[in-house]
Structure 1
Amino acid sequence: MTAVVLPALPRVLIAEADPWSRDLLKQVLLNVRCDARLDVCADGHEALARLAQNSYDLVIVDWELPGVDGLSVLRSVRQRKHSPPLPFILMSSRNDSASVREALPLAPTAYLTKPLNMEGLTQRLQGLLLNAGEEVFCAVPALAAGMTLSVYLERRREITDGAPLMMDVQRAIQRSLNPAGLDLTKLYDETRSDPQITAVLVAAANSAAQHHGKAVQTLSQALHRLGSGQSMNLILGLALKRSARLSDPFLADYAERYWGLSLHTAEYARKLARLLDLDQDRCYCAGMLHRLGDLALLRCLQEWKQAGGELDEREEVGNALAEFGAGYGSELRTRWRLPLELRELIAAVYQLGGGVYSREALVMNMAAQLALLTEHEGIEELARSRTARLLKIGLPELMRLRKK
Structure 2
Amino acid sequence: MTVVDLPAVPRVLIAEADPWSRDLLEQVLLHVRCDARLDLCADGRQALELLSEHPYDLVIADWELPGVDGLGLLRSVRQRRRNPVLPFILMSSRNDSASVREVLPLAPTAYLTKPLNMEGLTQRLQDLLLSAGQTVSCDVPALAPGMTLSTFLERRRELADGAPLLTDVQLAVKRSLNPNGLDLKLLEEEVRTDPQITAVLIAAANSASQHLGDTVQTVSQALHRLGTGQSMNLILGLALKRSANLSDPCLADYAERYWKLSLHTAEYGRTLARLLDLDQERCYCAGMLHRLGDLALLRCLQEWIQAGGALDKLEEVGEALAEFGAAYGSALRTRWRLPLELRELIAAVYQLGGGVYSREALVMNLAAQLARLTEHEGVEELAKSRTARLLKIGLPELMRLRKS
**Whole-Å Cα distance in 2 between the matches of residues 279 and 177 of structure 1?**
29
Question: What is the correspondence of 1:12-23 to structure 2 with a 5 Å cutoff?
Answer: 12-23=12-23
Specify the alignment match of 2:142 in structure 1. 142
Specify the alignment match of 2:276 in structure 1. 276
Q: Is the 8 A contact 2:12 2:39 kept in 1?
A: yes
Per the TM alignment, residue 300 of structure 1 is displaced from its structure 2 partner at its CA by 0.3
Instruction: Map Cα deviations across residues 225-267 of structure 1 (whole Å, 9 max, x no partner).
Output: 0000000000000000000000000100000000000000000
**Distance 1:13-1:3 versus aligned 2 partners, 3 A rule:** closer
Specify the alignment match of 2:302 in structure 1. 302
Q: Scaled by the length of structure 1, what TM-score is found?
A: 0.99
Letter in 2 for 1:56: Y
**Whole-Å Cα distance in 1 between the matches of residues 312 and 47 of structure 2?**
46
**Whole-Å Cα distance in 2 between the matches of residues 4 and 309 of structure 1?**
38
Specify the alignment match of 2:354 in structure 1. 354
Specify the alignment match of 2:46 in structure 1. 46
**Whole-Å Cα distance in 1 between the matches of residues 258 and 382 of structure 2?**
22
Per the TM alignment, residue 375 of structure 1 is displaced from its structure 2 partner at its CA by 1.1
**Distance 1:268-1:85 versus aligned 2 partners, 3 A rule:** same
Question: What is the correspondence of 1:212-227 to structure 2 with a 5 Å cutoff?
Answer: 212-227=212-227
**Whole-Å Cα distance in 2 between the matches of residues 285 and 2 of structure 1?**
49
Question: What is the correspondence of 1:123-138 to structure 2 with a 5 Å cutoff?
Answer: 123-138=123-138
Q: Is the 8 A contact 2:2 2:128 kept in 1?
A: no
Aligned-residue RMSD, C-alpha: 0.9
Specify the alignment match of 1:158 in structure 2. 158
Specify the alignment match of 2:206 in structure 1. 206
**Whole-Å Cα distance in 1 between the matches of residues 54 and 139 of structure 2?**
26
Specify the alignment match of 1:388 in structure 2. 388
**Whole-Å Cα distance in 2 between the matches of residues 246 and 53 of structure 1?**
39
Q: Scaled by the length of structure 2, what TM-score is found?
A: 0.99
Specify the alignment match of 1:234 in structure 2. 234
Q: Is the 8 A contact 1:5 1:131 kept in 2?
A: no
Q: Is the 8 A contact 2:238 2:244 kept in 1?
A: yes
Moved over 2 A (4+): 1-5
Matched, 1:66 2:66: yes
Specify the alignment match of 1:378 in structure 2. 378
Q: Is the 8 A contact 2:294 2:325 kept in 1?
A: yes
Q: Secondary structure of 1:164's match?
A: coil
**Whole-Å Cα distance in 2 between the matches of residues 313 and 350 of structure 1?**
26
Question: What is the correspondence of 1:168-183 to structure 2 with a 5 Å cutoff?
Answer: 168-183=168-183
**Whole-Å Cα distance in 2 between the matches of residues 3 and 365 of structure 1?**
58
**Whole-Å Cα distance in 2 between the matches of residues 335 and 162 of structure 1?**
11
**Whole-Å Cα distance in 1 between the matches of residues 54 and 318 of structure 2?**
46
Q: Secondary structure of 1:127's match?
A: helix
Q: Is the 8 A contact 1:344 1:361 kept in 2?
A: yes
Letter in 1 for 2:156: R
Q: Is the 8 A contact 1:286 1:346 kept in 2?
A: yes
Specify the alignment match of 2:110 in structure 1. 110
Q: Any unmatched runs of 5+ in structure 2?
A: none
Instruction: Map Cα deviations across residues 145-166 of structure 1 (whole Å, 9 max, x no partner).
Output: 0000000000000000000000
Q: Secondary structure of 1:12's match?
A: strand
Letter in 2 for 1:254: Y
Q: Any unmatched runs of 5+ in structure 1?
A: none
Per the TM alignment, residue 132 of structure 1 is displaced from its structure 2 partner at its CA by 1.8
Instruction: Map Cα deviations across residues 9-36 of structure 1 (whole Å, 9 max, x no partner).
Output: 1000000000000000000000000000
Specify the alignment match of 2:254 in structure 1. 254
Letter in 2 for 1:236: L
Matched, 1:185 2:185: yes
Number of residues of Structure 1 aligned to a counterpart in Structure 2: 404
**Whole-Å Cα distance in 2 between the matches of residues 194 and 138 of structure 1?**
29
Q: Is the 8 A contact 1:217 1:339 kept in 2?
A: yes
Specify the alignment match of 2:33 in structure 1. 33
Q: Secondary structure of 1:4's match?
A: helix
Per the TM alignment, residue 167 of structure 1 is displaced from its structure 2 partner at its CA by 1.1
**Whole-Å Cα distance in 2 between the matches of residues 4 and 122 of structure 1?**
19
Q: Percent identity?
A: 83
**Distance 1:137-1:355 versus aligned 2 partners, 3 A rule:** same
Per the TM alignment, residue 403 of structure 1 is displaced from its structure 2 partner at its CA by 1.3
**Whole-Å Cα distance in 2 between the matches of residues 370 and 331 of structure 1?**
27
Instruction: Map Cα deviations across residues 164-201 of structure 1 (whole Å, 9 max, x no partner).
Output: 00010000001101110000000000000000000000
